[in-house]
Structures are given as structure tokens and as C-alpha cells.
Homo-oligomer: A and B are copies of this chain.
Amino acid sequence: MQIKIDNASTRPIYQQIIDQIKRDIALGRLKAADKLPTVRQLAAQLVLNPNTISKAYRQLEQDGIIVTRPGAGAYVAELSSNLSKSVRKKLLCEQIELLVVEAVHMQIDARTLGEWFDGTAKKFKFTDSEE
């Protein structure tokens, strides 16, 4: 596990850990059933309090991203979502709006933003389209 904490960031540490684990899974670097570092291992490696790692793992388990078992460890779960399609669309579109608003205020034109979007999306392992 290669996780980097940016202490200058306003983003909470436990959230940065969540971000990077979810990112590694979405990139395909972590796959279902892969073992994650133990809470104490990762805490030692990042020089953080174990409670902070535990908080990140707890949140990831809550969201169905990983499975944890005391004594065994933490493992990547199968991709799944218990949310309805409409709720997922609502959540994502809210995030898309914030992104687009930022782009407009940065005076980035629509074509350029679209290119950056496509270029970024290309790196990730999406679920197959249902066609």
C-alpha cells in the first residue's frame, strides 16, 4: 500500500486515506479479496494514531467498499451499490455541477473541460456498459 498524507491539505487525514483506497480500487490496483494493511501496520507506516486508520476502515466498511473481521484483517469487497439508480444520479450530478461551476469561474471552455474529463476517466476501470 502506497498512501501519502498531505498535512497541508484541509481534507481530513482519514478522508485522504479513504480517497486513496477507493482510487486504487477504481484504478484496478486493488482487486476484490485483496488484503489491506492492518490498522496498526498502516498507523506505524504513516506515523498516525491507529484510531485515525480505524475511522477510515470503519467508513469504508460502512460504504460496502471493504470487509473487516477482527483477528483476520481488512479485505477489498466486491463492487456493489445498494443505492437506487436515481439516488446515484442525483449524488453524482450534484458533484458534476460543482465541478462545472469551478471550471466556468476558472474560464476553462467546455471543450477543454470535456477533454480533461475524458482523459481522466480513461485511466479507470468502469463497470461494463449494459448495451
Interface of A toward B, CB cutoff 8 Å: 19, 22-23, 25-26, 63, 65, 79-81, 83, 88-89, 91-93, 95-114, 116-118, 120-121, 124-130
- B81 near A106 with CB under 8 A, answer yes
- Interface secondary structure of A, over-half rule: helix
Beyond A92-B108, A107-B81, A108-B92, is A97–B129 a contact (Cβ under 8 Å)?
no
CB-contact partner of A101 in B26, B81, B114, under 8 A: B26
Inter-chain contact B109/A124, CB cutoff 8 Å: no
Copies in the complex: 2
**Are B113 and A121 in contact (CB-based, < 8 A)?**
yes
Residues of B within 8 A of A102 (CB): 22, 91-92, 95
CB-defined A-B contacts under 8 Å, sample of 26: A22-B105, A25-B104, A26-B100, A26-B105, A63-B105, A65-B105, A79-B105, A81-B107, A88-B108, A89-B116, A92-B108, A92-B113, A95-B98, A95-B102, A96-B121, A97-B120, A103-B126, A104-B124, A104-B125, A104-B127, A108-B126, A108-B127, A109-B127, A109-B128, A109-B129, A114-B117
